[in-house]
């Protein structure tokens, strides 16, 4: 039987769920379809038998400088403060990440110079135009090449756009005003976000399009190439295979929640995450043992595994071809990380979804071409770098 809400939202990740919530709050009839057996997309967690809460699809550190976004997420969960601290394994010792000025002074000296001059044509040259060779080699090159499975010189220079060197000794990964993790966990947070909205789980829209239709607008947050049946070719995505280890005899296995592992000779994993660090202190103290997860990148074939759009010119060009077709559709809005082939932090995804939902509510139909940014740049996955805050322009 066909079902016809005003708005049909495909995908219950942060983008789809935020748009669905905003439209529902405005009194519109919305239905959500989700191909997985849980809502929230990659923003999901579960509790290990030890009592340790694990982020199912890798660590999610919520952070934002936006008052609006912070108020929005606190409607659906209380957040306990968590300021992520990351270190990098460098030649058998741990160094702070982002790179601190004292490391450069210690290893290179005060009067260091970038290792590359001229106009960068690839990721490696763009990095070396900003830093000494030693910093790039020890912190970035190995991590990046394991992350993407290709030499750094084949990646777009635009991937290396936001580096900084910490001068103030602040060891936090991020300096955003608001930082935290939902007390109830991300799975409960996303369920609360979708509370009262009809959701069909285990439903792959691309296989049952004739069963679900929208009166006004289809909002598709899946992969844009998949929407068109990949008839122009498949976009490339990277994902992580997560190797989990429970250590019953140790309270902690590492000094912080995340350690980057850039050295190719030490394994295929790019980072090691210890979840216990991310729990409130009173919960941690009551748990015996610890759980670590090592993340091993691979090229994903199954859309359920997609995490990071691939940052090279071939995929940027292919995406632009799909985007041009999507912009001609009058009754479909394709958006989100997979739909726009761009990496979004959580607050970026929410902020963009709030703006898109507002435009949907205030614009006459059909007027949705604004949904796809008109610029030719590959999306970037999280690098092991500090990202300078650029206000709330995100998305």
Q: For residue 391, name the pLDDT band (cuts at 50, 70, 90).
A: very low
**Looking at residue 4, what is its pLDDT?**
87
Q: Which range of residues forms the domain containing residue 122?
A: 99-159
What is the three-class DSSP state of 10? Answer: strand
What would the mean pLDDT of 376-384 be, rounded to a whole number?
40
Give the per-residue pLDDT at 265. 87
Asked if 116 and 217 sit in the same domain, the reply is no
Closest to 15 measured CA to CA, from 236, 202, 194, 199: 194
How far is the C-alpha of 81 from the C-alpha of 176, rounded, in Å? Answer: 12
Task: Please indicate, yes or no, whether residues 231 and 317 belong to a single structural domain of this protein.
Answer: yes
Over residues 370-385, the mean pLDDT reads 40
228-267 pLDDT, tens per residue? 999 999 999 999 999 999 999 999 999 999 999 999 888 9
CATH for 57: 3.40.50.720
Q: Are residues 18 and 57 in the same domain?
A: yes
Residue 199 sits in the same domain as residue 317: yes
pLDDT digits (tens, 9 = 90+) for 69-126: 999 999 999 999 999 999 999 988 999 988 888 888 888 888 888 899 999 999 999 9
Q: What is the mean pLDDT of residues 319-326?
A: 96
Residue 344 tokens, joined: 């979004």
Q: Has this prediction a pTM greater than 0.75?
A: yes
Same domain (yes/no): 316, 359: yes
Per residue in 155-188, pLDDT tens? 999 888 766 677 777 888 888 999 999 999 999 9
Whether 252 is in a domain gets the answer no
What confidence tens digit (pLDDT) does each residue in 180-214 have? 999 999 999 999 999 999 999 999 999 999 999 99
**Are 64 and 193 part of one and the same domain?**
yes
Q: What are the structure tokens assigned to 42, written together?
A: 């990659």
pLDDT digits 0-9 by tens, 330-347: 899 999 999 999 999 999
What pLDDT, on a 0 to 100 scale, did the predictor assign at position 104?
A: 85
Decide if pLDDT at 300 tops 70: yes
Provide the percentage of residues in the chain whose pLDDT is more than 70.
90
- Same-domain pairing of 116 and 215: no
Report yes or no on 65 lying in a domain: yes
Q: Are residues 12 and 152 in the same domain?
A: no
Do 11 and 199 touch, CB atoms closer than 8 A? no
Asked if residue 357 is part of any domain, the answer here is yes
Using the predicted structure, report yes or no on whether residue 279 has a pLDDT greater than 60.
yes
Same domain, 228 and 315: yes
Q: Is residue 143 part of a domain?
A: yes
Provide mean pLDDT across the span 356-363. Answer: 92
At 388, the pLDDT band (50, 70, 90 cuts) reads very low
SS3 string of 192-243? HHCCCCCEECCCCHHHCHHHECCCCEEEECCCHHHHCCCCCCCCCEEEEEEE
Last residue of a domain, one of 159, 191, 206: 159
Q: Give the pLDDT mean for 316-333.
A: 95
Instruction: State how far the Cα of 360 lies from the Cα of 318, in Å rounded to an integer.
Output: 27
What pLDDT does 17 receive? 98
pLDDT reported for residue 9 = 98
Q: What percent of the chain has pLDDT over 90?
A: 75
In a domain, 214, yes or no: yes
Higher per-residue pLDDT: 166 or 15: 15
Q: 284 lies in a domain?
A: no
Write down the mean pLDDT value for the chain: 89
Overall domain count for the chain: 2
CA 381/CA 231 separation, integer angstroms: 25
218 in the same domain as 109? no
Residue 384 pLDDT: 40
Q: Which residues contact 49 (CB under 8 A, 6 or more apart)?
A: none
| Under 8 Å between Cβ of 32 and 222 | no
In this structure, are 120 and 26 located in the same domain? Answer: no
What is the rounded average pLDDT of the residues 377-383? 40
Structural domain contains residue 386? no
Q: Is residue 110 part of a domain?
A: yes
Q: Band of the pLDDT at 395, cuts 50, 70, 90? A: very low
Regarding whether 194 and 139 lie in a shared domain, the answer is no
Mean pLDDT for the stretch of residues 348-370: 81
pLDDT score of 60 more than 70: yes
């Amino acid at each position: 039987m066909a079902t016809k809400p005003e708005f049909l939202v495909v995908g219950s990740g942060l983008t789809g769920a935020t748009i669905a919530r905003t439209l529902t709050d405005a009194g519109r009839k919305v239905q959500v379809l989700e191909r997985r057996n849980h809502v929230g997309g990659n923003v999901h967690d579960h509790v290990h038998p030890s009592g340790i809460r694990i982020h199912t699809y890798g660590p999610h550190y919520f952070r934002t400088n936006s008052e609006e976004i912070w108020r929005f997420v606190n409607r659906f969960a209380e957040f306990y403060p968590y300021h992520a601290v990351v270190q990098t394994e460098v030649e058998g010792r741990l160094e702070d990440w982002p790179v601190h000025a004292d490391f450069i002074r210690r290893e290179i000296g005060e009067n260091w110079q970038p290792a590359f001059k001229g106009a960068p044509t690839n990721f490696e040259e763009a990095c070396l135009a900003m830093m000494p060779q030693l910093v790039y080699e020890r912190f970035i090159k190995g991590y990046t090449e394991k992350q993407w499975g290709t030499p750094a010189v084949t990646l777009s220079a635009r991937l290396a756009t936001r580096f900084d060197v910490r001068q103030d000794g602040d060891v936090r990964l991020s300096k955003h005003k608001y930082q935290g993790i939902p007390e109830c966990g991300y799975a409960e947070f996303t369920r609360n976000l979708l509370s009262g909205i009809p959701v069909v789980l285990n439903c792959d829209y691309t296989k049952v399009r004739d069963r679900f239709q929208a009166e006004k607008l289809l909002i598709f947050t899946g992969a844009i190439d998949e929407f068109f049946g990949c008839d122009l070719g498949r976009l490339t995505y990277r994902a992580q295979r997560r190797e989990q280890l429970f250590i019953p005899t140790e309270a902690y296995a590492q000094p912080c929640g995340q350690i980057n592992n850039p050295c190719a000779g030490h394994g295929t994993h790019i980072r090691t995450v210890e979840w216990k660090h991310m729990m409130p202190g009173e919960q941690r103290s009551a748990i015996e043992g610890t759980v670590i997860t090592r993340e091993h990148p691979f090229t994903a074939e199954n859309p359920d595994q997609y995490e990071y759009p691939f940052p090279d010119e071939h995929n940027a060009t292919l995406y632009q071809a799909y985007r041009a077709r999507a912009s001609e559709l009058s009754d479909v809005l394709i958006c989100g990380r997979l739909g726009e082939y761009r990496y979004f932090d959580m607050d970026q995804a929410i902020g963009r979804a709030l703006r898109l939902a507002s435009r949907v509510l205030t614009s006459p139909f059909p007027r949705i071409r604004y949904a796809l940014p008109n610029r030719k740049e590959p999306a970037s996955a999280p690098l092991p770098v500090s990202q300078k805050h650029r206000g709330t322009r995100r998305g």
